[in-house]
Amino acid sequence: MVYRRYAFIAVVVSVLVLVVVLVGASQVPPLTIVASMAATTLAVATPLTLGALSGVFCERSGVVNLGIEGMMLAAAFSGWFGSIYASAVLGIPPLPSLLLGVVIAVATGALLGLLLAALAVTYSVDQILAGTVINLLAVGLTGFFNRQLFFGPASAFGGQVPHAPGVLPRLHVPLLADLPVVGPVFEQQPIAVAAVVLVGLTHLVLFRTRWGLRARAVGEHPRAAATVGIDVVRVRYVNVVIGGAIAGLGGAYFTLESVPSFEPMMTNGRGFISLAAMIFGDWTPFGSWAAALVFGAAQAFQINLQLFRDQIPPSWSFLQQSSVVGLVPYLLTLLILTGVIGKTTPPAADGQPYEPEGRR
């Protein structure tokens, strides 16, 4: 990703933070505001980062993954249900139940990834449609099971929703977390930490390993890759399943790390925003992460500006309207995707089904 883009991101984030600091400085020390906004940004960016990484894995190998939203939603539900079942019915203590929930969520994502791979790679279904199928499937299935397992006559828990085992505990990053004021930024929950680690890991895998080179080759020119002996189908399957698993981890964030409850359609379009982040990040892990942080910062801006509503100077009174401030994340998405700072290029074979030679 070109440095112009990173610079743009840095400018946008700084402006967002600066505005809030200027408005709220009379009430709260600036450093506290910055630290709090950073914490919010990281938390909000977690599912977006994971969603975008999922997209990077899939699309770098040439499969468009429009089903991130659905994968996250399905994983959020299955992981949550698994953790509750483990703790309430099987009597497993909270932490192992939650970890089991995470495993189930990741597996759910991987399974949907396998479905996407089967549709897109084996059956050459239009990949836009294949992703849409997964989104619709996830909305329908989670809604149905949520009703049946918790409210329906055959409820797994006899009609009463049992206590959820809580959420994943905060990890204490030694030294950094003990710092005054900025300490809370380093006290993150495990999935938020995993997201950051996965950014680096994805970068290494894609750009520093043989597998990554092959995957990228398959995503750029599958026929050429095939002629040098790369198994295009296998590479795509593996990458899409990994992508699904990462989206599944993103789903786990909602119900196992953020709040111990599930709501139908609770991902609220974040899977699509993460696709936008991936595109703005030029299909690179670090770029996607940076873009996800912009969206996180926009959310933090939205929350914080409302918090300091009474401090907004009268000449800027339009910013006091919660509906105006609420638009900011979406306006930013629009601004970013319209290519204000240049175009990005997807992998050349992105979205094209691969037909092995002589199959026709």
Interface ranges with another protein (CB under 8 A): 24, 27-28, 32-33, 35-37, 39-40, 43-44, 147, 151-153, 159-160, 163-164, 166-167, 184, 254, 258-261, 263-266, 268-269, 299-300, 302-304, 306-310, 317, 320-323, 325-327, 329-330
Q: Which is nearer to another protein, 86 or 240 (CB)?
A: 86
Could you tell me the smallest distance in angstroms from the CB atom of residue 160 to another protein?
A: 7
Q: Which is nearer to another protein, 165 or 212 (CB)?
A: 165
- 1 contact partners, CB below 8 Å, separation of at least 6: 281, 282, 284, 286, 287, 290
Residue 191 DSSP SS3: helix
Could you tell me the smallest distance in angstroms from the CB atom of residue 354 to another protein?
A: 37
Q: Which is nearer to another protein, 43 or 116 (CB)?
A: 43
Could you tell me the smallest distance in angstroms from the CB atom of residue 33 to another protein?
A: 7
Could you tell me the smallest distance in angstroms from the CB atom of residue 154 to another protein?
A: 10
C-alpha gyration radius of the chain? 21
Distance in angstroms (rounded) separating the CA atoms of residues 7 and 19: 18
Query: Two tokens at 336?
Result: 């970013």
Could you tell me the smallest distance in angstroms from the CB atom of residue 353 to another protein?
A: 34
The string of DSSP codes covering 139-181 is: HHHHHHHHHHHHTSTT-TTTTSPPPP---PPPP--TTGGGSTT
Could you tell me the smallest distance in angstroms from the CB atom of residue 211 to another protein?
A: 34
Task: Supply the DSSP symbol for 315.
Answer: G
Q: Which is nearer to another protein, 184 or 351 (CB)?
A: 184
Q: Which is nearer to another protein, 326 or 351 (CB)?
A: 326
For residue 177, what are the CA distances in angstroms to 171, 185, 339? 9, 7, 38
Q: Angle 352-349-267 (CA atoms, 0-180°, nearest 5)?
A: 70
Q: Which is nearer to another protein, 113 or 296 (CB)?
A: 296
